[in-house]
Amino acid sequence: MSFWFDVARFSAGLNVALLLALVWVWGRNYLQFRSKHTLGLVMFGGFLLGENALALYIYLVDPMLSAWFASEAVPPVAWRAMMGLHVLQTAGLLFLVWVTWD
């Protein structure tokens, strides 16, 4: 169980870092070009950043939920599913970072 928890936490943390970089670049581009497309990217990145920041808060800081998630109370299938979503999101964000910086 701890393995899935660690992978989910690591992926959520990496997602926050990647999204901060993307929102910074997209926000800078929006300020320069003022296009709807870049504004859409900033909004998308901001909402996804909020979701990952909340997940990280729940996994690391919240006294009740972090203890519950770290316990054996969460079924392994649920952890594998949550970890899979975080890892897939990390892969997608890595691709977006590569495309954005290219």
Q: Per the structure, how many domains does the chain have? A: 1
pLDDT at 76: 82
Residues of the chain below pLDDT 50: none
Give the structural domain span for 68. 3-101
* pLDDT value, residue 79: 81
Phi/psi at 68 (nearest 5 deg)?
-65, -45
Structure tokens at 60: 């690391």
Predicted confidence at residue 5, as pLDDT, reads: 82
Closest to 99 in 3D by CA, of 1, 43, 25, 39: 25
Q: How far is CA 25 from CA 47, 51, 99, in A?
A: 16, 19, 12
Q: What was the pLDDT predicted at 67?
A: 84
Q: What is the pLDDT of residue 80?
A: 87
pLDDT of residue 68: 83
Spatial contact of 100 and 26, defined as CB atoms under 8 Å apart: yes
Read off the tokens for 27. Answer: 């926000």
